[in-house]
């Protein structure tokens, strides 16, 4: 045995010191170039390979929470081991106070551990099992300190320790780690700030719901690697929270639409209250109650082992707007709070612009009505026949009252024109008359058209819609073709007429309205009631003030003035000088029975004006309505020929206002000389009373 005074021993000691010095010098040199975790890994690996070629090591860092540690760098050396266990150990956060780590951190000098002994002492720590599995018998643990701060620790499998060398290495590693982590933190914050800046920029440009969806998804993904589960909005009742946006990968659109009641929340529910009471985002545990609200959460629990969901309130000032649910584990509450504040502003902007679009559409609709109305000049109701004069009298009697008017008459007799005239002459004329064509709508839509619907009232009702009744508040609602209304809707209409209030489809509150009703039909409503197709109670409600419009064939004297009116209107329309009618053409108009009434005359004249090559229309090409219709009448009536002849002559005399001979007279229409007609009248016992009273 060599003594320390032995010169050989002294030499060896000097050599040993020299080699330690040069090792540390090399290490220091290498460390000066270290900038990143990867650089550090290279230098540390190289050093430990020299120091301890077969051993493994791990460097653990103290986590941001200050109470746990997790792996930062590691090398398993040449050992064989259970990789699944290694992965678990590397991913796990171990409490500092686990009985081993705290001993190392608190020791001023490196500590040696016998792995087996530690296990025998009853420590149930997975990294001890891993070391045993790797065949490591002794581990040395050294605290990594940067000044006063605990940065982490080093664990190295080695049997003999050279304290000065290890301490030298570790103090440098600790400084480098401190710097790298501070750098990483700076970079992370910079990236975060950049993302927030981009988010702020993007969110100010958000105009639509889909923009909003896109911006929220990308910020959440970028910052927290999380996704929005559901964004709820508080409904108008201030109690229900309805899903507004949701992750499309996670949910399917139909699923949310069909199970809305599942997903909708109530402001009085415990967890919702908790979210609104807090200014900070709240971590909600996924319990049965939440799973019942959102079935997909149970899948998260099973598949991702995620037991909680972040929830944050959306507010605008003091006003509650809704809340967001997010799936994720590591969410920085202050950051999320800032994001939610911006989301709130954006949501309220989107809602406002949706509202503007809705109002714009409504305004456009109203404008259409207005244009329609402006196109109708009421002076231009043509016709001075006795029948029309009676109509004018009735209009002036009823217009100023609020009474319901029922306009009856064949198609094309001018019911809509008269409805507008009544509205125009009433005190409601500052607002537009609203028209609903009850025949033009499928039965399934007519209710929502009339009464409006709430969002989600039925599949496809994505937005709330104001019905025609509400639009017509303080104005007139014109129910055209009311005889075509389905029975189910008739009941609802009756209720509205009785109570003067409506309920939107899917709505819970009633809305009081002041609407004047004008209904029109070309059906014989009384017959419809008898046949069970129209409710008698509704009929009586509508039939308060009936006005019957005469068919054109019963007001022959108006034909010429109407024809003249349309000739000048359509000639002007296409820039022609007013086209005139020949005597023959006028005769044809008088002879025709006009099943389509004024509309048919209007269309005929329009066609003729377009086709006219000269200043005059000489002939019309009319369907053979006269003869055919008369034949049909005779066939249907089954009366003796004389009786049919008598009735027919009376009808023609009525249409001509008793005029027998001359232009537009009955003889001309019947195609017989005036004298013949006179004698027939006498023979058949026709008196003036027959054709002047009806
Ligand atoms: N007296 C009239 N003077 C001028 N034009 C008229 C007159 N009566 C009807 N018209 C015109 O005839 C056309 C048909 O009229 P309107 O639409 O009011 O009839 P309607 O009875 O409501 O028909 P429908 O029952 O088929 O709905 C319109 O273009 C209207 O301007």
Q: Is the CB of 411 under 6 A from ligand 1?
A: yes
pLDDT > 70 fraction of the chain, expressed in percent and rounded: 87
pLDDT tens digits, one per residue of 178-221: 999 889 889 888 888 888 888 888 888 888 888 888 888 888 77
* Atom from ligand 1 closest to the CA of residue 565: 4
Specify the residue with its C-alpha closest to ligand 1, atom 30: 414
Q: Is the CB of 322 under 6 A from ligand 1?
A: no
Distance 552 CA to ligand 1 centre (A): 11
> pLDDT averaged over the chain?
84
pLDDT tens digits, one per residue of 643-684: 778 888 888 888 777 888 877 778 877 778 888 888 888 888
Specify the residue with its C-alpha closest to ligand 1, atom 15: 414
Q: Is the CB of 551 under 6 A from ligand 1?
A: no
Q: Is the CB of 598 under 6 A from ligand 1?
A: yes
Q: What local confidence, expressed as pLDDT, does residue 162 receive?
A: 83
The answer to whether residues 440 and 479 touch, using CB atoms and an 8 Å cutoff, is: no
Can you tell me the distance from the alpha carbon of 526 to that of 483, in angstroms, rounded to the nearest whole number? Answer: 10
Look at strands 452-453 and 465-466 and give their pairing: antiparallel
> Which residue among 386, 413, 415, 417 is best mutated to probe the pocket of ligand 1, counting the most ligand atoms within 8 A of its Cβ?
417
Specify the residue with its C-alpha closest to ligand 1, atom 12: 599
Query: How far is the first Cα of the chain from the last one, in angstroms, to the nearest whole number?
Result: 149
Distance 416 CA to ligand 1 centre (A): 6
Q: Is the CB of 420 under 6 A from ligand 1?
A: no
Judged by DSSP in three states, 327 sits in: strand
pTM of the model: 0.47
pLDDT tens digits, one per residue of 570-580: 999 888 888 89
For the residues 2-20, what does the mean pLDDT come to? 75
Q: Is the CB of 437 under 6 A from ligand 1?
A: no
Q: What local confidence, expressed as pLDDT, does residue 634 receive?
A: 47
* Atom from ligand 1 closest to the CA of residue 480: 27
pLDDT > 90 fraction of the chain, expressed in percent and rounded: 33
Look at strands 319-327 and 308-316 and give their pairing: antiparallel
Q: Is the CB of 387 under 6 A from ligand 1?
A: no
Q: What local confidence, expressed as pLDDT, does residue 374 receive?
A: 46
Q: Is the CB of 413 under 6 A from ligand 1?
A: yes
Q: Is the CB of 557 under 6 A from ligand 1?
A: no
Residue with the two structure tokens 């008088």: 590
Q: What share of the chain is helix, strand, coil (3-state, %, to 5)?
A: 55, 15, 30
Residues in the chain: 694
pLDDT-derived band at 54, boundaries 50, 70, 90: confident
Specify the residue with its C-alpha closest to ligand 1, atom 6: 414
For the residues 107-113, what does the mean pLDDT come to? 90
Question: DSSP characters for 565-589?
Answer: HHHHHHHHHTTPPPPEE-HHHHHHH
pLDDT tens digits, one per residue of 338-382: 888 888 888 888 888 888 888 887 777 765 655 555 444 456 789
Q: What local confidence, expressed as pLDDT, does residue 300 receive?
A: 61
- Lowest average pLDDT, out of 8-22, 126-140, 585-599, goes to 8-22
């Amino acid at each position: 045995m060599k003594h320390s005074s032995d010169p050989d021993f002294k030499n060896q000691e000097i050599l040993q010191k020299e080699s330690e010095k040069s090792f540390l010098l090399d290490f220091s040199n290498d460390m000066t170039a270290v900038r990143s975790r990867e650089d550090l890994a290279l230098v540390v690996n190289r050093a430990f390979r020299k120091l301890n070629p077969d051993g493994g090591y791990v460097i653990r860092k103290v986590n941001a929470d200050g109470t746990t540690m997790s792996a930062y760098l590691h090398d398993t050396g040449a050992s064989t081991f259970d990789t699944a266990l290694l992965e678990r150990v590397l991913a796990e956060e171990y409490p500092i106070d686990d009985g081993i780590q705290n001993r190392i951190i608190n020791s001023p000098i490196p500590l040696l551990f016998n792995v087996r002994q530690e296990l025998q002492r009853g420590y149930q720590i997975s990294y001890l099992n891993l070391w045993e599995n790797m065949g490591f018998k002794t581990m040395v643990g050294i605290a990594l300190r940067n000044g006063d701060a605990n940065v982490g620790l080093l664990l190295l499998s080695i049997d003999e320790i050279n304290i000065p060398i290890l301490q030298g290495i570790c103090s440098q590693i600790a400084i480098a780690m401190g710097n790298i982590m501070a750098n990483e933190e700076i970079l992370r914050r910079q990236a975060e700030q950049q993302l927030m800046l981009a988010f702020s920029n993007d969110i100010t440009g958000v105009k639509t719901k889909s923009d909003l969806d896109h911006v929220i998804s990308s910020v959440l993904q970028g910052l927290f690697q999380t996704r929005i589960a559901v964004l709820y909005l508080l409904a108008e009742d201030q109690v229900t929270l309805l899903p507004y946006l949701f992750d499309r990968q996670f949910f399917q659109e139909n699923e949310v639409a069909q199970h809305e009641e599942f997903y909708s929340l109530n402001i009085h529910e415990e967890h919702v209250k908790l979210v609104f009471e807090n200014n900070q985002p709240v971590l909600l545990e996924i319990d049965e109650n939440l799973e019942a609200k959102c079935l997909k959460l149970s899948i998260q629990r099973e598949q991702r082992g995620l037991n909680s969901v972040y929830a944050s309130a959306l507010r605008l000032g003091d006003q509650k707007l809704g809340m967001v649910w997010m799936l994720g584990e590591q969410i920085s509450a202050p950051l999320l709070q800032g994001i939610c504040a911006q989301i709130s502003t954006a949501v309220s902007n989107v809602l406002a612009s949706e509202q503007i679009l809705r109002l714009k559409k409504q305004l456009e609709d109203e404008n259409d009505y207005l244009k329609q109305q402006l196109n109708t000049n009421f002076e231009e109701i043509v016709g001075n026949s006795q029948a029309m004069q009676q109509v004018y009298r009735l209009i002036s009697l009823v217009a100023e009252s609020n009474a319901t008017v029922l306009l009856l008459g064949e198609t094309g007799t001018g019911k809509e024109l008269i409805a507008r005239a009544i509205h125009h002459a009433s005190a409601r004329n500052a607002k537009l008359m609203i028209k609903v064509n009850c025949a033009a709508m499928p039965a399934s839509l007519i209710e929502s058209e009339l009464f409006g619907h709430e969002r989600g009232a039925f599949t496809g009702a994505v937005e709330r819609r104001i019905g025609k009744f509400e639009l017509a508040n303080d104005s007139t609602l014109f129910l055209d073709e009311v005889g075509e209304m389905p029975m189910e809707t008739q009941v609802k209409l009756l209720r509205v007429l009785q109570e003067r209030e409506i309920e939107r489809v899917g709505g819970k509150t009633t809305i009081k309205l002041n609407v004047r009703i004008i209904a029109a039909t070309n059906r014989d409503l009384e017959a419809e009631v008898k046949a069970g197709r129209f409710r008698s109670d509704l009929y009586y409600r509508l039939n308060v003030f009936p006005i019957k419009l005469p068919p054109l064939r019963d007001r022959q004297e108006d034909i010429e003035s109407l024809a003249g009116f349309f000739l000048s209107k359509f000639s002007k329309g296409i820039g022609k000088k007013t086209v005139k009618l020949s005597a023959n053409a006028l005769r044809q108009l008088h002879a025709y029975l006009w099943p389509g009434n004024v509309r048919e005359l209007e269309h005929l004249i329009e066609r003729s004006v377009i086709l006219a090559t000269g200043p005059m229309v000489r002939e019309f090409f009319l369907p053979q309505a006269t003869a055919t219709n008369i034949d049909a009448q005779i066939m249907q009536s089954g009366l003796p020929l004389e009786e049919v002849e008598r009735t027919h002559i009376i009808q023609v005399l009525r249409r001509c206002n008793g005029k027998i001979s001359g232009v537009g007279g009955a003889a001309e229409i019947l195609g017989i000389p005036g004298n013949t007609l006179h004698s027939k009248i006498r023979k058949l016992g026709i008196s003036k009373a027959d054709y002047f009273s009806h």
